[in-house]
Amino acid sequence: MIQLLIQVALTLLVVLLLMWGLARVIRRPLGIRGNESLSVLGSQQVGRGAAVAVVRVADRALVIGITDTQVSLLVEHDLEAFVTEPEEEHIPVDLEGSELPGRHPAAAGGRLDGSVLSPRTWMSAVDSLRERTARPERTARR
């Protein structure tokens, strides 16, 4: 019985290792390595089978048109026109008024914030339901 369990565990381990290896191979094709001087800065779909993309090649930005049958160079431009440094987000706060800013200050950015998987989302939903179902306190009877 124990020998059978060991065989099953080893077989499962081999299968999981094979799946992991295949996933790594599929993510990055063999022989092609990432190149820092070539990257896609952004793209926008403009029609059913057409898109426009900005590609960084060394220190130049190429705006290319992409269709189902071809790729065309639209314009070549300096890279600085397309690469911008992220600006800090400033939330205006009215200290005199009672309104909160557009986003709650405690909403610190996280990878899951705003998604169904975020614990904060679930806590907010439970708090909202509690507020709706809480019975108001009865005032003194007349």
Q: Could you give the 3-state DSSP secondary structure of residue 140?
A: coil
Counting beta carbons within 10 angstroms of the beta carbon of residue 54, is it exposed (0 to 12), middle (13 to 18) or buried (19 or more)? buried
Range 1-7 average pLDDT = 90
Report d(CA 48, CA 87) in Å as an integer.
33
pTM: 0.39
Tokens coding 36: 């820092």
Is residue 12 scored above 90 in pLDDT? yes
pLDDT tens digits, residue range 113-131?
667 777 777 788 888 887 7
Q: Taking a C-beta distance cutoff of 8 angstroms, is the pair 104, 121 a contact?
A: no
Is residue 36 scored above 80 in pLDDT? no
Is residue 101 scored above 60 in pLDDT? no
Residue 89 is which amino acid?
E
Is residue 9 scored above 80 in pLDDT? yes
pLDDT at 43: 87
pLDDT at 19: 93
